């Protein structure tokens, strides 16, 4: 009976995922920009011509604002040595939220001066975070996305992410653009494009051709997605990478 039940559930899962089309895409490079301020990139966003970055590692975590055109470092704040910083995203009220890996603490800053305005707690590990109006969405390294109220930070729902009916784990840095969520898959060159209401992956973006000469550090993986609404393009980078790549995502043509 138990075996039959497992087979039945497997068949139902297959039927539900049948017909899903997962497009294969690649980043079309518009411009490669050498990074003047390297870091262990954990979170990234662009707003009004400014690049905001959260960098990780114990004793090296910080949040900073960089002018996108000149790469001038405008502001930088170091975090305590016992904090490992992770994702970063703006709020609609002029503030921004940075999350931490295992401290289960979110830090809210005033974007203008990067002064801390408040903190809040959550129950999972913190990996990536993105904002979409009245909601925030967090990843924790699993296949789960946690949706939060952007004012109270209370949990609204938890959504599993699947590709062709199978869980997509190691979801990391996040960026919400339009009706879709983009997520780095940790320790890979893949970005997945997700339909947030269903958790289904609608496109897989192969970024393996972006950086041929990788830093020797094995942790120096692709991680950093920022959308620039002014140019309607994405900026991608990785932990300790020497460059940003301004790109557009296009369908991969079969040979």
Q: For 155-189, what is each residue's pLDDT tens digit?
A: 999 999 999 999 999 999 999 999 999 999 999 99
DSSP state of 240: T
Average pLDDT in the 140-148 region? 96
pLDDT in tens, 197-232: 999 999 999 998 887 766 667 788 999 999 999 999
Q: How many CB atoms lie within 10 A of CB 129?
A: 28
Domain range summary for the chain, segments of one domain joined by +: 21-251
Sheet containing 50-55: give its strands across: 41-47, 50-55, 62-67, 73-78
**150 has a pLDDT exceeding 50:** yes
pLDDT in tens, 22-74: 889 999 999 999 988 889 999 999 999 999 999 999 999 999 999 999 999 99
| Confidence at residue 177, expressed as pLDDT on a 0 to 100 scale | 96
**17 has a pLDDT exceeding 50:** no
Q: How many CB atoms lie within 10 A of CB 67?
A: 12
| Confidence at residue 4, expressed as pLDDT on a 0 to 100 scale | 42
The dotted CATH code for 21-251 is 2.120.10.30
The residue among 136, 70, 127 whose CA lies nearest residue 99 is 127
| Confidence at residue 214, expressed as pLDDT on a 0 to 100 scale | 65
**6 has a pLDDT exceeding 60:** no
Residues 6+ apart with CB under 8 A from 119: 105, 106, 107, 108
25 vs 219: CA distance, rounded Å: 24
Q: How many CB atoms lie within 10 A of CB 197?
A: 8
């Amino acid at each position: 009976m138990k075996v039959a039940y497992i087979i039945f559930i497997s068949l139902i899962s297959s039927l539900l995922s049948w017909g899903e089309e997962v497009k294969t895409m690649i980043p079309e490079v518009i411009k490669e920009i050498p990074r003047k301020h390297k870091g262990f990139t954990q979170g990234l966003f662009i707003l009004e011509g400014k690049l905001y970055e959260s960098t990780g590692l114990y004793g090296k975590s910080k949040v900073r604002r960089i002018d996108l055109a000149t790469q001038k470092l405008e502001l930088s704040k170091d975090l305590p040595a016992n904090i490992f910083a992770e994702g970063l995203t703006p709020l609609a009220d002029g503030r921004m939220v940075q999350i931490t890996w295992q401290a289960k603490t979110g830090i809210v800053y005033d974007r203008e001066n990067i002064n801390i305005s408040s903190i809040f707690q959550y129950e999972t590990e913190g990996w990536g975070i993105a904002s979409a109006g009245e909601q925030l969405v967090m990843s924790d390294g699993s296949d789960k996305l946690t949706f939060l109220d952007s004012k109270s930070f209370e949990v609204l729902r938890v959504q599993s992410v699947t590709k062709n009916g199978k869980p997509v784990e190691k979801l990391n840095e996040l960026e919400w653009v339009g009706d879709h969520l983009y997520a780095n898959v940790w320790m890979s060159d893949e970005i997945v494009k997700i339909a947030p209401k269903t958790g289904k992956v609608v496109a897989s973006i192969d970024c393996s051709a972006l950086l041929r000469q990788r830093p020797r550090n094995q942790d120096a993986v692709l991680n950093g997605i920022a959308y620039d609404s002014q140019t309607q393009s994405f900026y991608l980078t990785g932990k300790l990478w020497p460059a940003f790549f301004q790109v557009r995502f296009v369908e991969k043509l079969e040979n």
